[in-house]
Amino acid sequence: MWRFIGGRLLQAIPVILAVITVTFFLVRVAPGGPFDSEKAVIPEVKAALEAQYRLDLPLGQQYLAYLRDLAAGELGPSFKYPGRSVNELIAAGLPATAELGAYALLVAVLLGGLAGVIASLKPNSAQDYIPMSVAMIGICMPTFLLGPLLVLVFGIHLEWLPVSGWGDIPGDKLLPSLTLGAAYAAYIARLGRAGMLEVMSQDYIRTARAKGLPEWQVVTRHALRGGLIPVVAFLGPAFAGLLAGSFVVETIFQIPGLGRFYVQAAFNRDYTMILGTTVFLSTLIVLFNLLSDILAAWLNPRLRAQYGEA
């Protein structure tokens, strides 16, 4: 297993380096600059600012200097927020974003997992078609459309839930979590159905039924562990995707997370903030992918034995 983990980590290094390189040069070639504004900046002031942020260096030297800072754990100073580093801004916005992602993942797992298991128990019936049709709608509906619809129905017409904010009231978190988790619940439902259908046709399931076990015991004690392996393998990239994809939801519901910094950085050409957020989220995606692969291998006896022997 350690050999498997080490191999995955070695594969992650060039992936993260490629993300850093592509993002670094893309933000540099984009039109405009961090000190361009409607009000003209005095050339001497602009030159001093560029020297302060090392923008006066050749592009290759800027890239190498950024890699050196990154190796030391420094993401650089923000252009938009003078006196504050990107590390501080990410630390300030991450708790709300992580909490939103955790709630959305919980919604996705509960709704999607339950729908997938229910659909798999009676394939090609109404019990299968209805949840899978709803799942297909969830996959096709983007968050920027689902969020305003939920706000319109539950926040404005019914007045059951608040339409914005991120306070201590549980109701504040329900609509954003549903909006962000709906699409992932749909994916989990389809993955869970496919995995359960494959497992339910295995010999050991027929043996369990032949022993006279009730169907609910066959499902919960024998089928779930193997049937939900595709879902477990999906959870790592799903949570990382929820963190990265929460920017739209944070904007809709006015949540003080990473999204506001990232969106403002894109508009203001805050190079270091764009780079730092991208690097941070890319690293999370790689790590969560690794964790989900390890958990899926642990749940699968054949893979566990294979990696144990390696």
When pLDDT is averaged across residues 272-296 and rounded to a whole number, the result is 81
Say what the pLDDT of residue 44 is. Answer: 76
pLDDT band with cut points at 50, 70 and 90 for residue 306: low
Question: In whole angstroms, what is the distance from residue 310 CA to residue 31 CA?
Answer: 51
Model pLDDT for residues 88-129, shown as the tens digit of each residue: 888 888 888 888 888 898 999 999 888 888 888 888 888 888
Model pLDDT for residues 16-58, shown as the tens digit of each residue: 888 889 988 888 877 776 766 656 667 777 788 778 778 888 8
List domains and CATH numbers for the chain. 88-309 (1.10.3720.10)
Model pLDDT for residues 231-248, shown as the tens digit of each residue: 877 877 787 778 777 778
Q: What is the mean pLDDT of the chain?
A: 80
Q: Sign of the C-alpha dihedral, residues 32, 37, 39, 42?
A: negative
Evaluate if residue 275 carries a pLDDT over 80. yes
Looking at the chain, the whole-number percentage of residues with pLDDT higher than 90 is: 0
Say what the pLDDT of residue 38 is. Answer: 52
The model's pTM: 0.76
